[in-house]
């Protein structure tokens, strides 16, 4: 009979050890899941801010503010801001870029939510000076020229979200192609 009491005690200890081990594993799993959920929430917020800034930039493309010294006029006006050398057809392409903070601000701090970078898509020169690698990595597309004027100008808008309440770019970004003047709100890519 004493042997049976000892084996019941060993069995009870084994069950308590197994239950404790499962509780520790469940606790660790919950902690990891909480971190994943927090990270996903941050990415979702950054994406929402970037999309809002992109939509506002597309909607107000011709009226974007230029308080950082980069003017949207430089992108839109071929004649006033030509590149130094003409292309094979004798046309000048504007290689100016537009870089500015979004007009949308974080409510708590008043910092802008995103960085907006716009470049004219030029088939000869894929890299525009002053832009991030992400903003320069866009499809190559021709502008359509005829009789010395432009029928269509194509632009790539890249919006990179800032880390909340800072002006440090995050890893969340989105792009849209804008086709002016005929299809300002259509997607090119």
The kind and range of the H/E element at 116 are strand 114-120
- Tens digit of each residue's pLDDT (9 = 90 or more) over 84-122: 455 555 444 445 678 889 989 998 899 999 999 988 776
- Judged on CB neighbours under 10 Å (0-12, 13-18, 19+), 42 is middle
User: What is the model's pLDDT at position 153?
Assistant: 72
Question: What pLDDT, on the 0 to 100 scale, is given for residue 161?
Answer: 96
pLDDT value of residue 166 = 93
Q: What are the φ and ψ backbone dihedral angles of 124, each rounded to 5 degrees?
A: -80, -35
Q: Is the pLDDT of residue 139 over 60?
A: yes
Q: Which domain holds residue 108?
A: 31-180
Q: Is residue 111 part of a domain?
A: yes
> What pLDDT band is residue 2 in, cutting at 50, 70 and 90?
low
pLDDT, average across residues 49-72: 82
Going by pLDDT thresholds of 50, 70 and 90, the confidence category of residue 47 is very high
pLDDT for the residue 158 = 92
| Mean pLDDT in residue range 58-63 | 83
184 pLDDT higher than 50: no
Q: Provide the whole-model pTM.
A: 0.70
Position 131 in a domain: yes
Residues 160, 162, 115, 131, Cα dihedral to 10°: -60
Question: What pLDDT was estimated at residue 183?
Answer: 47
Tokens at residue 56, please? 């506002």
Is 9 a member of any domain?
no
Residue 137 domain-assigned (yes or no): yes
> Structurally, how many domains does the chain consist of?
1
Task: Report yes or no on 7 lying in a domain.
Answer: no
Q: Which of 75-84, 152-161, 174-183 has the lowest mean pLDDT?
A: 75-84
């Amino acid at each position: 009979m004493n042997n049976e009491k000892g084996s019941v005690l060993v069995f009870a200890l084994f069950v308590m050890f197994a239950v404790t081990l499962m509780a520790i594993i469940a606790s660790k799993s919950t902690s990891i899941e909480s971190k994943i959920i927090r990270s996903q929430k941050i990415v979702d917020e950054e994406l929402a801010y970037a999309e809002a800034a992109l939509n506002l930039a597309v909607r107000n493309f011709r009226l974007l503010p230029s308080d950082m010294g980069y003017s949207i006029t430089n992108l839109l006006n071929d004649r006033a801001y030509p590149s130094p050398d003409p292309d094979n057809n004798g046309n000048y392409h504007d290689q100016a870029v537009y870089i500015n903070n979004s007009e949308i601000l974080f409510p708590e701090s008043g910092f802008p939510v995103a960085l907006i970078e716009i470049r004219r898509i030029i088939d000869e020169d894929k890299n525009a000076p002053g832009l991030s690698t992400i903003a320069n990595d866009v499809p190559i597309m021709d502008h359509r020229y005829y009789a010395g004027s432009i029928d269509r100008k194509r632009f790539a808008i890249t919006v990179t979200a800032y880390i909340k309440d800072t002006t440090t770019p995050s890893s969340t970004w989105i792009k849209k192609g804008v086709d002016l003047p005929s299809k300002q709100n259509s997607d090119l890519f």
